[in-house]
């Protein structure tokens, strides 16, 4: 299994700073990527927020499969202390709903006539800075396509009864789930150097062949579906002229084309994972833990 360790120094510092100021926060706004809601959900957020209510925003819903987004919203909204909604920061009406959701989560604060203090959290490249700019109605937070643009905690004020603080995008120290690692890499949440680029493209190709084959046929004008990820990258390379001397396909260039167009939404709305898949992972993990505990107990008895 491929485990990713990607925890730059500023992320470790951010984690400590967030823990120190959490007592001054009323509600947490966690921004997720609607294409991979569970893989982009940082387990450190639940640890750091303790019992604070959380608004989970499935951002980039325009890039995600709408049917699966609906499933994810239903899944998150069954969790205690969680309110989830889908978001596209370009749609002002959706952005304008967020302050009301925050106020509903802490009614005592509102009744006391005090501003609701919200902290925006999330992994890199999920759109936190874009969201802050949309909430404030002006460009104040730096925005970029690369992970880890925001480096330090910032505080802003919103005039409609809200006070916002921003945090750097933080990943957890080790990404144990192999699928999550590849999905985060395919979406651009972690730097392209974290996992070998062509391996990420092969993972994305395998997924697309299984889940959205018609999108590949349409986008790359394929006459027929290939029988595997390497063959798909070979086809893409030949279609787009990624050839080395002798007519050999440059698989790195082909991988770059596939990932760039996938990230930009040019293959249509796509979601990498389902609640049912993650529920199965949870059951398997619980079963493995029980078996490990039973094995340890048998060993102790011996």
- Assign a CATH topology to domain 4-174: Rossmann fold (3.40.50)
CATH 3.40.50.300 in the chain, residue ranges: 4-174
State pLDDT tens for residues 109-139. 999 999 999 989 888 888 888 898 888 887 6
State pLDDT tens for residues 21-44. 788 899 999 999 999 999 999 888
Q: Give DSSP secondary structure letters for the chain.
A: ---EE---HHHHHHHHHHHHHGGG-SEEEEEEETTSTTTT--HHHHHHHTT--EEEEEE-GGGS-HHHHHHHHHHHTTSTTEEEEE--TT-HHHHTTHHHHHHHH-HHHHHTT--EEEEEE-STTSSHHHHHHHHHTS--S---SSS----S-EEEEETTTEEEEE------SEE--HHHHHHHHHHTSS-TTSS-HHHHHHHHHHHHHHH-HHHHHHHHT-SS--SSHHHHHHHHHHHTT-EETTTEE-HHHHHHHHHHHHHTTTT-S-----HHHHHHHHHHHHHHHHHHHHHHHHHHH-
CATH 1.10.1580.10 in the chain, residue ranges: 196-263
Average pLDDT over residues 83-110: 94
State pLDDT tens for residues 202-259. 999 999 999 999 999 999 999 999 999 999 999 999 999 999 999 999 999 999 999 9
The architecture of the domain spanning 196-263 is: Orthogonal Bundle (1.10)
Q: In which band, very low, low, confident or very high, does the pLDDT at 72 lie, cut at 50, 70 and 90?
A: very high
| Predicted pLDDT at 189 | 84
Is residue 144's pLDDT more than 80?
A: no
């Amino acid at each position: 299994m491929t485990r990713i360790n990607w925890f730059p120094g500023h992320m470790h510092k951010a984690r400590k700073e967030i823990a120190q100021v959490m007592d001054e926060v009323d509600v947490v706004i966690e921004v997720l990527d609607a294409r991979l809601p569970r893989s982009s959900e940082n387990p450190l957020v639940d640890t750091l927020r303790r019992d604070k209510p959380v608004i989970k925003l499935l951002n980039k819903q325009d890039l995600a499969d709408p049917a699966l987004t609906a499933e994810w919203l239903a899944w998150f909204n069954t969790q205690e202390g969680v309110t989830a909604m889908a978001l596209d920061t370009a749609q002002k009406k959706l952005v304008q709903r967020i302050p009301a959701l925050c106020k509903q989560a802490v009614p005592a604060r509102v009744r006391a006539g005090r501003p609701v203090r919200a902290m925006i959290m999330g992994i890199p490249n999920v759109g936190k800075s874009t969201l802050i700019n949309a909430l404030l109605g002006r460009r104040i937070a730096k925005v970029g396509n690369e992970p880890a643009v925001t480096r330090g905690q910032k505080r802003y004020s919103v005039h409609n009864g809200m006070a916002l603080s921003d945090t750097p995008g933080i990943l957890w120290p080790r990404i144990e789930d192999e699928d999550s690692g590849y999905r985060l890499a395919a979406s651009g949440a972690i730097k392209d150097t974290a996992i070998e680029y062509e391996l990420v493209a092969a993972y994305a190709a395998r997924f697309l062949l299984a889940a959205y084959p018609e999108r590949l046929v349409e986008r790359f004008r394929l006459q027929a579906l290939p029988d595997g990820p390497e063959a798909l990258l070979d086809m893409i390379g030949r279609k787009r002229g990624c050839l080395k001397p002798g007519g050999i396909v440059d698989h790195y260039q082909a991988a770059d084309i596939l990932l760039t167009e996938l990230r930009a939404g040019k293959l249509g709305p796509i979601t990498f994972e389902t609640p049912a898949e993650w529920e199965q992972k949870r059951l398997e993990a619980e079963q493995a833990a029980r078996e490990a505990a039973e094995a340890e107990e048998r060993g102790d008895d011996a």
